[in-house]
Amino acid sequence: MSQHYDKLESMTVSERKIYLDSRLRQAVSRAYRGAPAARRMMKAAGVKPSDITTVSDLEKLPITRKNDLIEAQKVTPPYGGYYVGKPEGIERIFISPGPVYEPLHSSKIEWFARSFWAAGFRKGDVVINTFTYHLSPAGTLFQEGLRDCRATVVVAGAGNTDIHIKAMKDLGVNGFVGTPSYLMSLIKKVEETGSNFKKDFRIDKAWVTGEMLSPSMRQTLEKDYRIDTYQTYAVTEPGGTLAYECSQKSGLHLMDDYVVEIVDPSTGKQLAPGEVGEVVVTPLHNPHWGLIRFGTGDLSKMIVDNCPCGRTAPKLVGLLGRSGEAVKVRGMFVVPKQVEAALAAVNEAGKFQLVVRRIDNRDTLTLRLELKSGNTDDFELRKRVESAFQSACIVKLDRLELLPQGTIPSESKVVLDERKWD
């Protein structure tokens, strides 16, 4: 059986350049013709499609960020001028936090298949997919990628830990798809019941994304529980996996369905391999989504090497932090602007601060909220704030601190990410 999903993974440097430049020209031309938002952006920059002939030419265009996408969809609903095609051709509409509406024509969405194939998922594997199928595209996209590798999918979704554990045992599940912290939570819960995870369960491979996989957690999963663990870097708005690990686990190979740049976030200028910058993405695989130069806010650096696995695409070293204020918590981005909009409906709400910590291999999120009313012990108000926050951001708060006005120093950051990654 082939080690590689397709021939694209072993293209030469020159072949990959020709391939990406050609597809980029098509994507830019298509977006200019069919996506009003892309056309306006290019005209404002004084750039014509013919000016973008290679990946390096993308520096001529500004970076579009998530807040830009959210605002565009508010001003020009429902797709913000980024959709290319006729509305009646849309087969699925995904809703990402923001919200951001993402239309899709094709019923075949195998975009994640290369990453699952590299992680060893094949026909005969029974894989539990613990990512949400509710609103977010994650569950469905991952399922389709697994099915393209002919693996059997247990459609579990998020939550329901007890049911997940029972299904894993009853169905002989040997593959896990989810966040690394949730996999650890499942293991610990099994052990709390007195069961032996290695003996009583068959999980021997895991595909994880949505949060950083620390070296210590990987060692625990692989050495203590013999779970072959692969991490993938995925971003919702461009629509898929941007980079994925192979058996060498020495970086994440870039996917050839995207143009990925590492840029200086303040200037948009492309950086050389080895330099740390923001990951900026132009999707090539969805002809109906005219998004160009989407800034993820994630920091990484690119490396070029001769990988023993035979895949020739450059690699990302992993995520090194965030360039902006948005923060990823348990696989979901929380954007301060979303929080601000949610709290606008709560009359008593004043200044706020988000604090992210890492406790027992799990992200925790605290909202520190000053109150105009001064009453910090109001049960009904707590419920309203928690409900408004979760409705807007999807992620559930772990803690809500109601504070008197003036408690949060004026110079404080809106987001405090206190997580430590070893």
At residue 211, does pLDDT exceed 60? yes
Whether residue 66 is contained in a domain is answered as no
Asked if the structure places residue 28 within a domain, the reply is: no
pLDDT digits (tens, 9 = 90+) for 36-84: 999 999 999 999 999 999 999 999 999 999 999 999 999 999 999 999 9
In a domain, 82, yes or no: no
406 occurs within a structural domain: yes
Q: Which long-range contacts (C-beta less than 8 Å, at least 24 apart) are formed by 40-43?
A: 40/81, 41/292
How many Cβ atoms from other residues are within 10 Å of residue 155's Cβ?
Answer: 11
In a domain? residue 352: yes
Question: Is residue 376 in a domain?
Answer: yes
Structural domains of the chain, count:
1
Residue 198, Cβ density class (10 Å: 0-12 exposed, 13-18 middle, ≥19 buried) = middle
CATH number, domain containing residue 365: 3.30.300.30
pLDDT value, residue 108: 64
Per-residue pLDDT tens for 340-382? 888 998 999 999 999 999 998 899 999 999 999 878 888 999 9
Domain extent at residue 373: 332-417
Q: State the pLDDT confidence band at 1, using cuts at 50, 70 and 90.
A: very low
Tell me the pTM. 0.82
pLDDT tier at 325 (50, 70, 90 boundaries)? low
Q: Is 4 buried (19+), middle (13-18) or exposed (0-12) by CB count in 10 A?
A: middle
Q: Does residue 409 fall inside a structural domain?
A: yes
Nearest by Cα to 284 from 233, 242, 231? 242
Residue 366: inside a domain: yes
